[in-house]
Amino acid sequence: MTLFFNRRDLVVPGDLLAEGDYEAGSNVYKDGSRLYATRVGLLEVEDNKISVIALNSFYVPKPGDLVIGDIVDVGVGSWAVDIRAPRLAVLRAVDAFNRPFRPDRDELMRFLTVGDTIIAKVKAYDRTRNPMLTLGEPGLGKITSGRLVRITPSKVPRLIGKKGSMISMLKRETGCQIVIGMNGVVLVRCKRPEDEELLVEAIEKIERESHVEGLTDRVARMIRRRKGLAA
């Protein structure tokens, strides 16, 4: 049982992380008793489980995830939605209307059309078929106002922070509404444009500097400094 790196060390694909009776967590590949990193990221050790928190990734849908996506096609009884995952998601009319779909009366184009952006929830995904979305919950549906910021999906947990510390700090300091899609698309709605600018800048800072310690404090300081200058 040997560990070749320390916690929070920067590792790259092919790095031999550990050898012995460890469990492979996310972004780690086990070959016999050797564990290798499969992505660029920070090493995390939890009891016997070794994982890598990726610094670059793409979104893999998980049932229950809130996502923000663009309608790219309108079908006979469903829409195709780009949620920045390897495959297009399907939003069936039944899951959008929350009642049976009546082809003779309901016209899909009138409800959502190509170019619209929606907040939706992943209903099902099992790798073999395209992910399915639903709008059948409060807070979901078409986005009519705000600004979208795109970040790497693996950095969403950093944007939320421990028990939501980062996101609640951002909301408190800027007074904006923030909706985070697990696919790395963030919707911000602000009353004043200068708050919006500041918030977008803060989110970009979080994405860029997520691997350097003391992130929440640094972002809070940056926001206060900028607000101090503006006032």
Partner 1 sequence: MQHERPKLIDDEGRRVDGRGPTDLRPIHIEVDVLANADGSAYVEQGGTKVLAAVYGPKEIHPRHLGLPDRAVLRCRYHMAPFSVEQRKSPAPSRREIEISKVVREALEPALFLEHYPRTAIDVFVEVLQADGGTRCASITAASLALADAGIPMRDLVAACAAGKVDGILVLDLCDSEDKYGEADVPFAMMPGLGRITLLQMDGMLTPEELKECIRLAMEGCRKIYNMQKEALRERFVRIRREVEAAEAGEGGGQA
Binding stretches for partner 1 (CB under 8 A): 10, 12-16, 27, 29, 31, 36, 38-40, 54-58, 86-88, 127-128, 152, 154, 208-209, 211-212, 218, 221
Q: Taking each helix axis from N to C terminus, what angle separates 215-230 and 193-209, rounded to the nearest 10 degrees?
A: 150
Find the shortest distance in angstroms from Cβ 44 to partner 1.
16
One-letter amino acid identity for 22? Y
- Cβ atoms of residues 173 and 216 within 8 Å: no
Find the shortest distance in angstroms from Cβ 144 to partner 1.
27
The dihedral of CA 52, 58, 63, 67: what is its sign? Answer: positive
Find the shortest distance in angstroms from Cβ 14 to partner 1.
4
Nearer to partner 1, 65 or 195 (CB): 65
Nearer to partner 1, 191 or 221 (CB): 221
Q: Give CA angle at 83 (191, 168), nearest 5°.
A: 40
Q: What are phi and psi of 7, to 5 degrees?
A: -60, 140
Find the shortest distance in angstroms from Cβ 39 to partner 1.
6
